[in-house]
Structure 1
Amino acid sequence: MSSERQEQPADLREQLALLMRGLGTRTVLYQQFVAASHGLYNNDLKSVDILRETGPITAGELSKITGLATGTITALIDRLEKCGYVRRENDPADRRRVIIVPVYEHNEAIKNTYSPLHSAMLELASQYSADELRLIMQFIGKTSNILEEQIHHLSTSRGKTSPEP
Protein backbone atom coordinates (compact mmCIF):
# COMPACT_ATOMS: atom_id res chain seq x y z
CA MET A 1 0.00 0.00 0.00
CA SER A 2 1.46 3.38 -0.93
CA SER A 3 2.11 6.08 1.68
CA GLU A 4 -0.44 8.28 -0.14
CA ARG A 5 -3.15 5.71 0.54
CA GLN A 6 -2.10 5.38 4.18
CA GLU A 7 -2.20 9.15 4.65
CA GLN A 8 -5.85 9.54 3.64
CA PRO A 9 -7.74 11.42 6.34
CA ALA A 10 -9.78 9.09 8.53
CA ASP A 11 -12.80 11.37 8.20
CA LEU A 12 -12.68 11.05 4.40
CA ARG A 13 -12.68 7.25 4.68
CA GLU A 14 -15.53 7.50 7.19
CA GLN A 15 -17.50 9.74 4.80
CA LEU A 16 -17.00 7.18 2.03
CA ALA A 17 -18.18 4.34 4.29
CA LEU A 18 -21.29 6.34 5.23
CA LEU A 19 -21.98 7.21 1.58
CA MET A 20 -21.73 3.53 0.67
CA ARG A 21 -24.16 2.63 3.45
CA GLY A 22 -26.55 5.31 2.17
CA LEU A 23 -26.18 3.98 -1.37
CA GLY A 24 -27.11 0.53 -0.10
CA THR A 25 -30.20 1.93 1.59
CA ARG A 26 -31.30 3.77 -1.55
CA THR A 27 -30.68 0.66 -3.64
CA VAL A 28 -32.93 -1.39 -1.35
CA LEU A 29 -35.63 1.30 -1.44
CA TYR A 30 -35.42 1.51 -5.24
CA GLN A 31 -35.74 -2.27 -5.51
CA GLN A 32 -38.78 -2.22 -3.20
CA PHE A 33 -40.49 0.39 -5.39
CA VAL A 34 -39.64 -1.53 -8.57
CA ALA A 35 -40.98 -4.76 -7.04
CA ALA A 36 -44.20 -3.08 -5.88
CA SER A 37 -44.70 -1.47 -9.30
CA HIS A 38 -44.76 -4.98 -10.81
CA GLY A 39 -46.91 -6.54 -8.10
CA LEU A 40 -43.98 -8.47 -6.67
CA TYR A 41 -42.49 -8.82 -3.23
CA ASN A 42 -38.98 -7.52 -2.65
CA ASN A 43 -37.62 -11.07 -2.22
CA ASP A 44 -39.16 -11.95 -5.59
CA LEU A 45 -37.31 -9.15 -7.33
CA LYS A 46 -34.06 -9.87 -5.47
CA SER A 47 -34.34 -13.48 -6.63
CA VAL A 48 -34.87 -12.32 -10.22
CA ASP A 49 -31.69 -10.24 -9.93
CA ILE A 50 -29.80 -13.19 -8.45
CA LEU A 51 -30.92 -15.32 -11.40
CA ARG A 52 -29.74 -12.56 -13.75
CA GLU A 53 -26.30 -12.85 -12.16
CA THR A 54 -26.10 -16.64 -11.79
CA GLY A 55 -28.13 -17.87 -14.72
CA PRO A 56 -30.19 -21.05 -14.27
CA ILE A 57 -29.87 -22.62 -10.81
CA THR A 58 -31.83 -25.05 -8.66
CA ALA A 59 -34.39 -23.96 -6.09
CA GLY A 60 -32.04 -25.30 -3.41
CA GLU A 61 -29.21 -23.11 -4.65
CA LEU A 62 -31.53 -20.08 -4.69
CA SER A 63 -32.59 -20.95 -1.15
CA LYS A 64 -28.94 -21.04 -0.03
CA ILE A 65 -28.09 -17.73 -1.68
CA THR A 66 -31.12 -15.88 -0.34
CA GLY A 67 -31.33 -17.61 3.04
CA LEU A 68 -35.03 -18.21 2.43
CA ALA A 69 -36.61 -21.51 3.46
CA THR A 70 -37.28 -23.99 0.66
CA GLY A 71 -41.06 -23.65 1.13
CA THR A 72 -40.76 -19.89 0.75
CA ILE A 73 -38.64 -20.38 -2.37
CA THR A 74 -41.24 -22.72 -3.88
CA ALA A 75 -43.99 -20.11 -3.43
CA LEU A 76 -41.65 -17.40 -4.74
CA ILE A 77 -40.86 -19.44 -7.87
CA ASP A 78 -44.58 -20.13 -8.37
CA ARG A 79 -45.25 -16.35 -8.35
CA LEU A 80 -42.35 -15.62 -10.70
CA GLU A 81 -43.39 -18.38 -13.08
CA LYS A 82 -46.99 -17.10 -13.12
CA CYS A 83 -45.69 -13.60 -13.99
CA GLY A 84 -43.48 -14.98 -16.76
CA TYR A 85 -40.14 -14.10 -15.13
CA VAL A 86 -38.86 -17.69 -14.79
CA ARG A 87 -39.60 -21.17 -16.02
CA ARG A 88 -38.87 -24.55 -14.49
CA GLU A 89 -36.86 -27.09 -16.45
CA ASN A 90 -35.75 -30.59 -15.56
CA ASP A 91 -32.04 -30.82 -14.80
CA PRO A 92 -30.54 -32.79 -17.71
CA ALA A 93 -27.96 -34.30 -15.32
CA ASP A 94 -30.55 -35.36 -12.71
CA ARG A 95 -34.19 -35.60 -13.80
CA ARG A 96 -35.32 -35.42 -10.14
CA ARG A 97 -34.00 -31.86 -9.84
CA VAL A 98 -35.58 -28.77 -11.30
CA ILE A 99 -33.61 -25.83 -12.66
CA ILE A 100 -35.03 -22.31 -12.42
CA VAL A 101 -34.37 -20.49 -15.70
CA PRO A 102 -34.71 -16.71 -15.88
CA VAL A 103 -36.82 -15.50 -18.83
CA TYR A 104 -37.74 -11.99 -17.70
CA GLU A 105 -35.13 -10.19 -19.82
CA HIS A 106 -37.58 -10.15 -22.71
CA ASN A 107 -40.31 -8.72 -20.49
CA GLU A 108 -41.17 -5.28 -21.84
CA ALA A 109 -42.45 -4.02 -18.46
CA ILE A 110 -39.12 -4.86 -16.78
CA LYS A 111 -37.16 -3.19 -19.58
CA ASN A 112 -39.34 -0.08 -19.33
CA THR A 113 -38.93 0.09 -15.56
CA TYR A 114 -35.15 -0.18 -15.57
CA SER A 115 -34.56 1.85 -18.75
CA PRO A 116 -34.56 5.32 -17.09
CA LEU A 117 -32.10 4.17 -14.41
CA HIS A 118 -29.92 2.47 -17.02
CA SER A 119 -29.87 5.62 -19.17
CA ALA A 120 -29.09 7.84 -16.18
CA MET A 121 -26.23 5.55 -15.13
CA LEU A 122 -24.79 5.56 -18.66
CA GLU A 123 -25.00 9.36 -18.66
CA LEU A 124 -23.22 9.51 -15.30
CA ALA A 125 -20.54 7.08 -16.50
CA SER A 126 -19.92 9.23 -19.60
CA GLN A 127 -18.62 11.98 -17.30
CA TYR A 128 -15.59 9.86 -16.35
CA SER A 129 -12.50 8.80 -18.26
CA ALA A 130 -11.86 5.15 -19.08
CA ASP A 131 -9.20 4.99 -16.34
CA GLU A 132 -11.60 6.51 -13.80
CA LEU A 133 -14.31 4.04 -14.80
CA ARG A 134 -11.89 1.14 -14.37
CA LEU A 135 -11.02 2.43 -10.88
CA ILE A 136 -14.71 2.82 -9.99
CA MET A 137 -15.44 -0.67 -11.30
CA GLN A 138 -12.53 -2.06 -9.28
CA PHE A 139 -13.86 -0.35 -6.15
CA ILE A 140 -17.38 -1.65 -6.72
CA GLY A 141 -16.06 -5.16 -7.37
CA LYS A 142 -14.02 -5.12 -4.16
CA THR A 143 -17.03 -3.69 -2.29
CA SER A 144 -19.15 -6.57 -3.58
CA ASN A 145 -16.53 -9.05 -2.39
CA ILE A 146 -16.52 -7.47 1.08
CA LEU A 147 -20.32 -7.68 1.19
CA GLU A 148 -20.18 -11.36 0.15
CA GLU A 149 -17.69 -12.02 2.95
CA GLN A 150 -19.95 -10.24 5.45
CA ILE A 151 -22.99 -12.19 4.23
CA HIS A 152 -21.04 -15.41 4.68
CA HIS A 153 -19.93 -14.33 8.16
CA LEU A 154 -23.49 -13.49 9.19
CA SER A 155 -24.89 -16.67 7.67
CA THR A 156 -22.42 -18.88 9.52
CA SER A 157 -22.81 -17.04 12.82
CA ARG A 158 -26.63 -16.97 12.62
CA GLY A 159 -27.19 -20.13 10.62
CA LYS A 160 -28.77 -18.47 7.56
CA THR A 161 -28.03 -15.84 4.96
CA SER A 162 -30.94 -13.48 5.52
CA PRO A 163 -34.03 -13.23 7.65
CA GLU A 164 -37.31 -14.61 6.37
CA PRO A 165 -39.73 -11.99 5.08
Structure 2
Amino acid sequence: MNAHSPSGSGYWFGPDDRLDPPGAVLQALREYRNVEAARRRATRDSMGMGETDLLALRYLLRVQADGGQVVPKDLSRVLGITTASTTSLIDRLVGSGHVRREPHPTDRRSLVIVPTVATDSEVRAALGDMHRRMMAVAEDLGAEEARIVVGFLHRMSDAVAEPPSRVGGNCPPNR
Protein backbone atom coordinates (compact mmCIF):
# COMPACT_ATOMS: atom_id res chain seq x y z
CA MET A 1 0.00 0.00 0.00
CA ASN A 2 1.36 3.46 -0.86
CA ALA A 3 0.60 6.81 0.73
CA HIS A 4 -2.16 7.53 -1.80
CA SER A 5 -4.08 4.27 -1.74
CA PRO A 6 -7.26 3.92 0.30
CA SER A 7 -6.46 2.43 3.65
CA GLY A 8 -8.46 0.67 6.29
CA SER A 9 -12.11 -0.23 6.11
CA GLY A 10 -13.34 2.89 4.36
CA TYR A 11 -15.24 3.83 7.50
CA TRP A 12 -16.38 7.43 6.94
CA PHE A 13 -14.69 7.75 3.54
CA GLY A 14 -14.53 5.37 0.59
CA PRO A 15 -12.00 5.04 -2.23
CA ASP A 16 -10.83 8.36 -3.74
CA ASP A 17 -12.39 7.65 -7.14
CA ARG A 18 -15.89 7.50 -5.61
CA LEU A 19 -15.64 10.59 -3.41
CA ASP A 20 -16.94 14.08 -3.85
CA PRO A 21 -14.25 16.79 -3.43
CA PRO A 22 -14.81 17.37 0.32
CA GLY A 23 -14.71 13.62 0.97
CA ALA A 24 -11.52 13.30 -1.09
CA VAL A 25 -9.90 16.09 0.95
CA LEU A 26 -10.83 14.40 4.23
CA GLN A 27 -9.60 11.03 2.91
CA ALA A 28 -6.26 12.58 1.88
CA LEU A 29 -5.96 14.19 5.33
CA ARG A 30 -6.71 10.85 6.97
CA GLU A 31 -4.07 9.12 4.83
CA TYR A 32 -1.52 11.80 5.75
CA ARG A 33 -2.26 11.31 9.47
CA ASN A 34 -1.85 7.53 9.10
CA VAL A 35 1.48 7.85 7.29
CA GLU A 36 2.71 10.48 9.76
CA ALA A 37 1.71 8.32 12.76
CA ALA A 38 3.50 5.30 11.24
CA ARG A 39 6.63 7.42 10.73
CA ARG A 40 6.50 8.62 14.36
CA ARG A 41 6.21 5.00 15.54
CA ALA A 42 9.18 3.97 13.40
CA THR A 43 11.23 6.89 14.73
CA ARG A 44 10.35 6.05 18.34
CA ASP A 45 11.19 2.40 17.72
CA SER A 46 14.53 3.25 16.11
CA MET A 47 15.39 5.45 19.09
CA GLY A 48 14.06 2.89 21.61
CA MET A 49 11.58 5.21 23.32
CA GLY A 50 7.91 5.92 23.76
CA GLU A 51 5.74 8.75 22.46
CA THR A 52 6.06 10.91 25.58
CA ASP A 53 9.84 10.48 25.63
CA LEU A 54 10.14 11.66 22.03
CA LEU A 55 7.75 14.58 22.63
CA ALA A 56 9.86 15.59 25.64
CA LEU A 57 13.07 15.47 23.60
CA ARG A 58 11.54 17.53 20.79
CA TYR A 59 10.40 20.14 23.33
CA LEU A 60 13.78 20.20 25.10
CA LEU A 61 15.65 20.60 21.81
CA ARG A 62 13.32 23.38 20.62
CA VAL A 63 13.67 25.34 23.88
CA GLN A 64 17.44 24.85 23.85
CA ALA A 65 17.63 26.09 20.24
CA ASP A 66 15.69 29.21 21.33
CA GLY A 67 18.22 29.79 24.14
CA GLY A 68 15.83 28.78 26.92
CA GLN A 69 15.97 26.34 29.78
CA VAL A 70 13.53 23.68 30.92
CA VAL A 71 12.77 22.75 34.51
CA PRO A 72 10.84 19.56 35.32
CA LYS A 73 7.66 21.56 35.99
CA ASP A 74 7.80 22.83 32.38
CA LEU A 75 7.85 19.25 31.08
CA SER A 76 4.89 18.31 33.29
CA ARG A 77 2.87 21.25 31.97
CA VAL A 78 3.75 20.81 28.28
CA LEU A 79 3.26 17.05 28.27
CA GLY A 80 0.20 17.08 30.55
CA ILE A 81 1.67 14.51 32.94
CA THR A 82 2.03 14.38 36.70
CA THR A 83 5.19 15.35 38.54
CA ALA A 84 5.75 11.68 39.42
CA SER A 85 5.48 10.70 35.75
CA THR A 86 7.82 13.56 34.86
CA THR A 87 10.40 12.28 37.33
CA SER A 88 10.16 8.79 35.80
CA LEU A 89 10.44 10.27 32.30
CA ILE A 90 13.54 12.26 33.21
CA ASP A 91 15.07 9.22 34.94
CA ARG A 92 14.54 7.18 31.74
CA LEU A 93 16.02 9.89 29.52
CA VAL A 94 19.02 10.36 31.85
CA GLY A 95 19.51 6.59 31.97
CA SER A 96 19.46 6.32 28.18
CA GLY A 97 21.94 9.19 27.84
CA HIS A 98 19.49 11.52 26.08
CA VAL A 99 19.43 14.24 28.76
CA ARG A 100 21.25 15.31 31.87
CA ARG A 101 20.20 17.16 34.98
CA GLU A 102 22.15 20.34 35.70
CA PRO A 103 21.92 22.88 38.51
CA HIS A 104 19.67 25.82 37.66
CA PRO A 105 21.86 28.88 37.04
CA THR A 106 19.77 31.22 39.26
CA ASP A 107 17.79 28.93 41.58
CA ARG A 108 19.93 26.69 43.77
CA ARG A 109 16.88 24.59 44.68
CA SER A 110 16.04 23.74 41.09
CA LEU A 111 17.45 21.72 38.21
CA VAL A 112 17.32 22.23 34.46
CA ILE A 113 16.94 19.35 32.04
CA VAL A 114 19.38 19.57 29.14
CA PRO A 115 19.42 17.37 26.02
CA THR A 116 22.83 15.96 25.17
CA VAL A 117 24.70 16.80 21.97
CA ALA A 118 24.33 13.16 20.94
CA THR A 119 20.54 13.45 21.32
CA ASP A 120 20.40 16.46 19.03
CA SER A 121 22.42 14.52 16.44
CA GLU A 122 20.26 11.41 16.85
CA VAL A 123 16.98 13.30 16.44
CA ARG A 124 18.34 15.20 13.43
CA ALA A 125 19.47 11.92 11.85
CA ALA A 126 16.09 10.27 12.52
CA LEU A 127 13.91 13.17 11.38
CA GLY A 128 16.11 15.44 9.26
CA ASP A 129 15.52 13.81 5.86
CA MET A 130 11.78 13.68 6.42
CA HIS A 131 11.68 17.33 7.47
CA ARG A 132 13.70 18.35 4.40
CA ARG A 133 11.30 16.46 2.11
CA MET A 134 8.31 18.06 3.83
CA MET A 135 9.86 21.53 3.50
CA ALA A 136 10.49 20.91 -0.21
CA VAL A 137 6.80 20.08 -0.71
CA ALA A 138 5.75 23.21 1.22
CA GLU A 139 8.21 25.36 -0.75
CA ASP A 140 6.59 24.18 -3.99
CA LEU A 141 3.38 25.96 -3.00
CA GLY A 142 2.70 29.41 -4.38
CA ALA A 143 1.83 32.17 -1.91
CA GLU A 144 -1.92 31.89 -2.58
CA GLU A 145 -1.85 28.08 -2.34
CA ALA A 146 0.03 28.32 0.96
CA ARG A 147 -2.52 30.82 2.31
CA ILE A 148 -5.38 28.49 1.35
CA VAL A 149 -3.71 25.41 2.88
CA VAL A 150 -2.83 27.24 6.11
CA GLY A 151 -6.37 28.59 6.41
CA PHE A 152 -7.85 25.15 5.77
CA LEU A 153 -5.60 23.49 8.37
CA HIS A 154 -6.40 26.17 10.98
CA ARG A 155 -10.12 25.68 10.38
CA MET A 156 -9.68 21.88 10.61
CA SER A 157 -7.77 22.32 13.89
CA ASP A 158 -10.64 24.43 15.23
CA ALA A 159 -13.19 21.82 14.08
CA VAL A 160 -11.28 19.00 15.78
CA ALA A 161 -10.75 21.04 18.97
CA GLU A 162 -14.50 21.67 19.27
CA PRO A 163 -15.85 19.72 22.25
CA PRO A 164 -17.68 16.54 21.22
CA SER A 165 -21.46 16.64 21.13
CA ARG A 166 -23.37 14.19 23.25
CA VAL A 167 -23.45 10.80 21.58
CA GLY A 168 -26.96 9.84 20.66
CA GLY A 169 -28.28 13.41 20.62
CA ASN A 170 -32.09 13.27 20.71
CA CYS A 171 -32.28 9.56 19.92
CA PRO A 172 -34.19 7.45 22.39
CA PRO A 173 -32.04 5.01 24.39
CA ASN A 174 -31.66 1.46 23.09
CA ARG A 175 -33.68 -1.09 24.95
TM norm. shorter chain > 0.5: yes
Residue matched to 1:71: 84
Question: What do the CA deviations read for 1:24-59 (whole angstroms, capped 9, x no partner)?
Answer: 444333222101101112211011122234443211
Indicate the structure with greater helix content: 1
Please tell me the residue identity of whatever aligns with 1:72: S
Structure 1 unaligned segments of length 5 or more: list them: 1-10, 155-165
Q: Verify the 8 A CA contact 1:59 1:98 in the aligned structure 2.
A: yes
Indicate the structure with greater strand content: 1
Decide whether aligned partners of structure 1 residues 45 and 104 sit closer, same or farther in structure 2, where only a CA change above 3 A counts: farther
Runs of 4+ with deviation above 6 angstroms: none
Cα distance in 1 between the residues matched to 2:103 and 2:33: 36
Residue matched to 2:42: 33
Please tell me the residue identity of whatever aligns with 1:67: G
Q: Verify the 8 A CA contact 1:89 1:98 in the aligned structure 2.
A: yes
Decide whether aligned partners of structure 1 residues 146 and 105 sit closer, same or farther in structure 2, where only a CA change above 3 A counts: farther
TM-aligned CA deviation for residue 19 of structure 1: 4.5
TM-score, with structure 2 as normaliser: 0.60
Cα distance in 2 between the residues matched to 1:19 and 1:41: 27
Residue matched to 2:58: 49
| More RCO (CA 8 Å, sep 6+) | 1
Question: What do the CA deviations read for 1:78-105 (whole angstroms, capped 9, x no partner)?
Answer: 2222334322222233221212223457
- What is the RMSD computed on CA atoms of the aligned residues? 3.4
Aligned residues: 141
Q: Percent same amino acid at aligned positions? A: 26
Instruction: Note the 1:1-165 alignment, pairs <5 A.
Output: 16=25, 19-55=28-64, 56-103=69-116, 107-133=120-146, 135-137=148-150, 140=153, 142=154, 146=158, 150=161
Cα distance in 2 between the residues matched to 1:112 and 1:125: 21
Cα distance in 2 between the residues matched to 1:139 and 1:105: 38
Cα distance in 1 between the residues matched to 2:144 and 2:70: 35
Cα distance in 2 between the residues matched to 1:104 and 1:44: 17
TM-score, with structure 1 as normaliser: 0.63
TM-aligned CA deviation for residue 123 of structure 1: 2.7
Structure 1 counterpart SS, 2:49: coil
